[in-house]
Structure 1
């Protein structure tokens, strides 16, 4: 496994490739993303440990979207069974993905715990859905400080787990090593990931602007309310699905494709590997 250093412009290519792959199978990828979010929401209903279980499922959900995007890029229809890909590729991979999920849950809850030292847990309760965000709470300086601390701490956590599911699944890298290789890849390709983040920020801002214009037109036509709310939720889900679809391309270009032996370790259950990298400008 070799780490590749890519030019900064590759970040915008990742955004474009993610959008293009999504529109190859928009209904399937949107439905898969919705099902992953729904599964995590259902997991939160488990008494006491529900939120931790939902957090632990996030690496597996990310991997499912990566595999689904790889299938769409290769001209195949991603089936709902993709959601279980992390649990169908042998005991060792299953164990590693469970460990990865547990580490993510511990890390995220640790971030929330540190933020609670500032505002007594207000931000954590709002973020985890245990309390409503009111104007009074949002204007509380302690709440704002806790929010900014959480954002700062979540960035390195996100980088640690960005490539880790793919490294565990496609390369068979142990969880802790996968976290290390993931953050190294993100730091070494900082320029590309910065452009990638700015590109998606632009996509979300443009999407929000379009939704606002459509909502205003519906209001003029007397059709505001439920219709506008549905459009906003649908657009947000679609853009989030496109974002997760693009993650596989960041992985594809940062690491060598997996060896044949690794890819075919579980021939009946293993999904397609990420699309091979293409040399030269994307």
Structure 2
């Protein structure tokens, strides 16, 4: 496995390719993203351990979207079967993905625990769905301090797990090593990931502006009943585009794995995804 160093402008290409790949199969990719979020939401309802189980599912959900995006750019229709791709590639890979999910849950809960030292756990309870957010609560210095601390601590956690699902699934890298290789790849390609993050911020801001304008026009026209649904649907679609782009960051940061052709259908290795110029 060889690490690639890419120029900063590649970050913008990742965003473009993610959006382009999404619009190849928009209904399928949006539906798959919705199903992954729905599964995680249902997991939170499990008594006592629900939030931890939902967090542990995130690496597998990310991998499912990566595989679905790779399927879309290869001209195949991503079916709901890709949601289980992390659990269908052998006992060893299954165990590694479960370990990876458990490590992510522990890391995220540790971040929330540290934030609780500032505000007594109010932010953690709101973020994990255990308490409603009020304006008075959001304006308190303690709550804001906990929120900013969580954001700062979550960044290295995100970099640790950014490439980890793909490394475990496509390269067979053990979970702990996948975290190391993931953060090294992100840091060595810091320029590209900075451009990538800024570009997505611009996309979300522009999308939010357009959605707000459309919602305002609908409200003026007396269609306030559909405004909420449109805003939620548009937000989910933009989030699905973001997750669709993740596979391109992985593909350009690592040497393509060698896989038997028989595994291609269910694994969809990213080496066959289109390059920065859009070619296959």
Same fold flag (TM > 0.5)? yes
Deviation by residue 1:177-235 (Cα, 9 ceiling, x = unmatched): 000000000000000000000000000001000011101111221112x2111111000
1:126-275 superposed matches below 5 A: 126-224=126-224, 226-261=225-260, 267=263, 270-275=266-271
In structure 2, what is the Cα distance between the partners aligned to 1:13 and 1:280?
Answer: 6
Corresponding residue number in structure 1 for 2:115? 115
Q: How many residues align?
A: 278
In structure 2, what is the Cα distance between the partners aligned to 1:102 and 1:280?
Answer: 34
Deviation by residue 1:104-130 (Cα, 9 ceiling, x = unmatched): 000000000000011000000010111
Equivalent pair of 1:89/1:269 in contact (CA under 8 Å): no
Partner SS for 1:24: coil
Measure how far apart 1:259 and its partner are: 1.1
Deviation by residue 1:132-153 (Cα, 9 ceiling, x = unmatched): 1111000010000000000000
Measure how far apart 1:269 and its partner are: 7.1
Q: Which runs of 4+ in 1 moved over 3 A?
A: 267-270, 275-282
The CA RMSD over aligned residues, in Å, is 1.5
Partner SS for 2:266: coil
In structure 1, what is the Cα distance between the partners aligned to 2:154 and 2:276?
Answer: 33
1:63-142 superposed matches below 5 A: 63-142=63-142
**TM-score computed with the length of structure 1 as normaliser:** 0.96
Equivalent pair of 2:15/2:196 in contact (CA under 8 Å): yes
Partner SS for 1:260: coil
Distance 1:268 1:75, change over 3 A: closer
In structure 2, the gaps of 5 or more residues are none
